[in-house]
Each structure stands twice: as structure tokens, then as C-alpha cells.
Chain A
């Protein structure tokens, strides 16, 4: 079964600091996609970043970047210069090429301390 594990239920960081959220996944597939979604208190699920498994280069979106380690099946999210607006639940998700289902981890609640 395809599973996504986020081992940190909660994390906190000081404003302007850097924080890394962990995600591991279990798969026997070689072609797949990985995503990080953010869910602020407004409840909306917002796409943060996307990574194709066939690309060795780590994806980057402004202050958000990933560390994709395919052999280790690890996909961590780094948030630089943390801002109060980054406070949210962060979900890691995985989807096999050709599959319909997007599988989510259990989430990490990130708190930003001013």
C-alpha cells in the first residue's frame, strides 16, 4: 500500500528563522509526483510546491524549497525566513503517474513564534 508519513505532528519556529518539515513515503513505483499543501486556519487547502520524481533538481517556490531524496523516499519541506502567515497545517502528498488518488500524510502543525 502506498503510504505517506509525517513524523512530526507539531513544529514551532521563531519568526524569520528556517524550519524543515519531514515527510517519507512508501512506494514501489518509479514515476510519481510529490506535493506539499498548506491548510491555514481558514481551512482552505493551498498548494505550496510540487516535485516530479524523475527530476533530480529540488523544486523551489520563493521561500519554500524541498529536499527530495528518491532513494531514501524522503521529501522534506524547508521554509526560510518564516513569517506569521506561514502558521498552518502542512500536508505532504503523493501520487503515482497514471493514478487518480492523491494520498496524504497526517499533517504537521506549524506554529510561528513572534
Chain B
């Protein structure tokens, strides 16, 4: 158990809808990262927060947004969903915000858009 909690485990929704994915980092970790894992694109970095502030942005679509709350949990909001958004979404956390701090991953949320 990595200590990173993601909910829900599975999500099935229709195109055009909006969903929220939630992540609680490991105790003591200040950084939260979101990654998308699709079959054909491996693990793609979406966004990172450190102690409530956005630190880095990757290939995150404008339809997607995220935030980190004062209690350090994070939410990833996906709107106007398309079939291509179907993927496994991972949250990870680390103590530091860069360099050698290893990322500890949650079990992921499997999103299926129909």
C-alpha cells in the first residue's frame, strides 16, 4: 500500500459529461501529481501541485482542471468528456517538489467514456 488514496476506482460516464477524480496524498507529502495512462501513449504527465500551488503543467487539456486544497487532497475535474478521454488516471505524491523525491502512486481511477 503506497498510502495514496484515489476515488473512485472505476467511473463510467457518457460523452459530454463532467467528472471529478479525488486524491489523498501520503501523510506528510506536500506534492501531488496527476498522470494519464492510455493504451497507446503510456504515462503522460498532466499537472503538479505543491502545498496548494500549481507548480508544473504538462499535456493537460483545457477541458481538464485540477486543484489542491488546504488539507492537501487534490481533485482533477474532467469536463465535456470525449471517447478519447477514456484512460487510467493516476495520482501520485512526494515529499519534495522536484528532483530525487520518488513519486508514490495511488491505484488509479479507471475512466470509461461511452
List A residues at the B interface (Cβ < 8 Å).
33, 35, 37, 42-47, 50, 52, 91, 95-107
Contact yes or no, B33 A102, CB < 8 A: yes
B30–chain A nearest beta-carbon distance, Å: 12
CA–CA, A52 to B100, complex, Å? 7
Interface size class of B (residues with CB under 8 A): 20 to 34
Number of contacts between A and B (CB, 8 Å)?
62
CA–CA, A102 to B105, complex, Å? 12
> Hey, which chain B residues are within 8 Å of A50, CB to CB?
100, 102
> Hey, which chain B residues are within 8 Å of A42, CB to CB?
107
> Hey, which chain A residues are within 8 Å of B43, CB to CB?
91, 104
**CB closest residue in chain B, given A4:** B42
> Hey, which chain A residues are within 8 Å of B99, CB to CB?
33, 95-99
- With contacts A45-B90, A105-B42, A107-B42 known, is A100 near B55, CB below 8 A? yes
**CB closest residue in chain B, given A45:** B105
B38–chain A nearest beta-carbon distance, Å: 11
CA–CA, A28 to B88, complex, Å? 31
CA–CA, A91 to B90, complex, Å? 14
